Amino acid sequence: MDFKNLTNEIIFFIKSSALIYVFISFIIGFIINYAGHKVYKWAIFLSGMIPGALIGVAIGGLMDFSQTGIVFTAIFSSFAGGSLAIFLTNISIILLGSFASVILAAAMGAQEPVVILIAAVVGGGVSLALYNIAIIVSTSVIGSALLMLTTINIIAIVKTGHPELWPGDIFSYFIRLVKHGVSGNGIQGIYNVAIRDLISFSIFCITGIIVQVNLNKILKLKKPNNKTETETEETIDSTERIKSIAS
């Protein structure tokens, strides 16, 4: 099979599988846009689990544990490695912010140890907060771009039966803008399409940031107050007893 036939086969496969990869692109964009910070944390945790598990297996082998003991050691070490990875990541960000704040305070003439200590603590806290904000904003931007491109493809599939853009390809999006300009609408046509896409991108991005900032509150389940329920049941029982005695 020559290169031309191979290219045609790939294009035909993509067009015939349009709904599949558009759906996958939508799912990936949705997760990144609305839960990117959580996904990032889990990625760090998983990256620490692998070496942690390997270390656990090595320790279990050196201590002549049984196979069951080695498995439990590997599981414990993997969770410990994941937790350590997150901890070290946060510590590195805090130390970086503290170090930068100390240098800035010293450059501004601060010499008192208390002032330098306060600058280090404040700088570490601010850097960690900005770090988390940066993750939320960046993942929302990436996820919103994927959702915007997916929306364009969904509209194109409804109208023409095949997607207008390659999956996740920003260059094909710019080619799309040029086509709208060449088709006779000129700069005004490019402007209209770009503004429309920018509106959808902004909606996805803003909602993504809002959801990620409040995700812990959204996922927090309201725990039933067992004590209150018990007291209520006791009150009802007492009331029924009083009524029975009075009657």
Query: 41, 86 in Cβ contact below 8 A?
Result: yes
pLDDT at 230 exceeding the cut of 70: no
Q: Which two tokens stand for residue 93?
A: 């960000």
Decide if 238 is inside a domain.
Answer: no
The pLDDT of residue 185: 66
Q: State the Cα–Cα distance between residues 162 and 156, nearest whole angstrom.
A: 6
* Mean per-residue pLDDT, 201-218: 87
Residue 199: C-alpha distances to residues 9, 151, 202 (Å): 36, 12, 5
Domain limits at 200?
3-222
Q: Is residue 247 part of a domain?
A: no
Q: Look up residue 228 and give its two tokens.
A: 């209150």
Query: Quick one: CA torsion of 67, 68, 73, 78, rounded to 10 degrees?
Result: 90
Tens digit of each residue's pLDDT (9 = 90 or more) over 66-90: 888 888 888 999 999 999 998 988 8
Q: What is the pLDDT of residues 28-79, one digit of tens each?
A: 889 999 998 888 888 888 888 888 888 888 888 888 888 888 888 889 999 9
* Number of domains within the chain: 1
Q: Is residue 216 included in any domain, yes or no?
A: yes
What would the two tokens of residue 211 be?
Answer: 């959801």
Q: Write the single-letter amino acid at 153.
A: N
What the block records as the tokens of 102 is 């100390």
Give CA–CA dist 173/33, Å, rounded.
19
CA atoms within 13 A on the CB side of 164: 21
Q: In angstroms, how far is the first alpha carbon of the chain from the final one?
A: 96
What would the pLDDT profile of 83-112 be if each residue is shown by its tens digit?
999 898 888 888 888 888 888 888 888 778
Are 33 and 144 in contact by the 8 Å Cβ rule? The answer is yes
Percent of the chain predicted with pLDDT > 70:
77
Percent of the chain with pLDDT over 90: 11
Q: Is the pLDDT of residue 145 over 70?
A: yes
pLDDT at position 34 is 92
Question: Is residue 232 domain-resident?
Answer: no
Does this model's pTM top 0.95? My answer is no
Residues 6+ positions from 201 with CB-CB distance below 8 Å: 144, 145, 148
Give a yes or no: residue 244 inside a domain.
no
Position 13 confidence tier, pLDDT thresholds 50, 70, 90? low
Q: What is the 3-state secondary structure (H, E, C) of the chain?
A: CCHHHHHHHHHHHHHHCHHHHHHHHHHHHHHHHHHHHHHHHHHHHHHHHHHHHHHHHHHHHHCCCCHHHHHHHHHHHHHHHHHHHHHHHHHHHHHHHHHHHHHHHHHCCCCCHHHHHHHHHHHHHHHHHHHHHHHHHHHHHHHHHHHHHHHHHHHHHHHHCCCCCCCCCHHHHHHHHHHHHHHHHHHHHHHHHHHHHHHHHHHHHHHHHHHHHCHHHHHCCCCCCHHHHHHHHHHHHHHHHHHHHHC
Q: How far apart are CA 45 and CA 90, in angstroms?
A: 12
Does residue 112 belong to any structural domain of this protein? yes
